[in-house]
Amino acid sequence: MKALHFGAGNIGKGFIGYVLNKNGYDVCFVDINQKMVNRFNRDNSYVVELLDDSHTVETISPVTALNSVSQEDEVIEAIVNADLITTSVGVNNLSRIASIVSKGLVKRAKENKRKIDIIANENAINPTSILKQEIEKHVTISEMLEIHSFVGFPNSAIDRLSLSKDSEEGEIALVEPMYEWIINKSEMVNGALPVIKGAIYVEDLRPYIERKLYIVNMGHATTAYIGFLTGKSTIQSALANPNIEYFVKETLNEAAQYIIRTFDIPSADMSVFIEKTMKRFKNKNVSDDILRVGRSPIRKIGYDERLLKPTRELFGMGLSIEYLSMAVAAAFLYDDARDEEAVSLQKYINEKGIEQAIEHFTQTKNKGLTEKIKEKYDLLKTKSTESMTQLME
């Protein structure tokens, strides 16, 4: 079985490529990094290190790679002949690969109409639908109808911490032992392929997507922004402080009320999920940089994003947002000179003031919510690094 995967970054190597290889796929990566393409084709393999107590090392093989810029014809041909197509390029880069994917699908429609599914594995809600919309921009209406006759666009939700480190043999993918790959079965068209062992197939993806975004991603970002304000360098060092650990857990407990009430999920199940999430965050074998997790704060305080949506939904229900509102406020104080979004955010606050900044970046029209976040912002802004953790109690 042949899998074509767009994106040879940490998620591509440490998660999707890893799982597909374990399921018997010959994986061909498509990337623009020529050095990485050359290394894959030279070695026909790469190394993954699990962040467990033994630091287990696994070799993933066979793998090959193509450059999407200099080898366009070969990539198009690979699309024609693939059994499965997957991506992990970052949601903002789906538009960049849509052109070559559309060319491959148009050619496949003429030469090989075997059914195939394309799964975009990005940190976003319904990323494959986003890719499909981008593909539609490059084809005619009749071509898209033809593509729909044999191509499925199942959405997915993914969850695995994937990092990397340099070595003499090249870049090594570092991944936590736990992962979750959830695929919307109802959107698939190719029933001939065996199920992917390790993946979970569901009929309704939304509860899983929102649980991931508004619990895991939200908690991760919260830890980063509070950790930044308290002078911590990693997620793990931040959570080693009992006050910060307590604050993050209570933030998760507040956000859980949104999931429980929206999807009728038992409170006990969410409690178990939160405990598992906190354990993952505190994994002593991981060194997760605060600045990596906290980057792009403007995106993370967006209207439907990880920090704001559970906050505004719960505020509308009249439920507690004491911890969530402080987490949002902490994001507005994130100030990393190397982060373009952080620089833009602080510039806007300095020029327009925090109240206007809250309304502008969150797009909320709820004055009460704006005032609540501003109250927490003012409180955090007046505290020193040393006294900051006392607020977390």
**Amino acid 112: pLDDT:** 86
Pairwise CA distance, residues 37 & 43, whole Å: 10
Same domain, yes or no, for 39 and 151? yes
Query: Which of 168, 203, 238 is at the close of a domain?
Result: 203
Same domain, yes or no, for 376 and 330? yes
Query: Which of 135, 168, 203 is at the close of a domain?
Result: 203
Same domain, yes or no, for 212 and 196? no
Q: Which residues pair with 26 in a beta bridge?
A: 2
Same domain, yes or no, for 164 and 297? no
Helices 308-317/322-332 angle, 10° precision: 140
Same domain, yes or no, for 252 and 370? yes
**Amino acid 167: pLDDT:** 77
Q: How many structural domains does the chain have?
A: 2
pLDDT tops 90 at residue 165: no
Same domain, yes or no, for 181 and 40? yes
Query: Is the Cβ–Cβ distance between 285 and 263 less than 8 Å?
Result: no
Same domain, yes or no, for 20 and 93? yes
CATH number at residue 272: 1.10.1040.10
Same domain, yes or no, for 187 and 239? no
**Amino acid 386: pLDDT:** 60
Same domain, yes or no, for 185 and 282? no
**Alpha helices (runs of H) in the chain, residue ranges in sequence order:** 10-11, 17-22, 34-43, 72-81, 94-111, 127-136, 141-148, 206-211, 218-229, 235-239, 242-263, 267-281, 290-294, 297-300, 308-317, 322-332, 340-352, 354-362, 367-381, 385-388
Query: Which of 203, 235, 253 is at the close of a domain?
Result: 203
pLDDT tops 90 at residue 387: no
pLDDT tops 90 at residue 166: no
CATH number at residue 9: 3.40.50.720
User: Model confidence at 80, in pLDDT bands (50, 70, 90)?
Assistant: very high
Q: Model pTM?
A: 0.85
Residue among 280, 57, 19, 361 nearest 158 (CA): 19
The domain in which residue 17 lies consists of 2-203
Query: Is the Cβ–Cβ distance between 198 and 143 less than 8 Å?
Result: no
Same domain, yes or no, for 312 and 277? yes
269-306: per-residue pLDDT in tens? 999 999 999 999 999 999 999 999 999 999 999 999 99
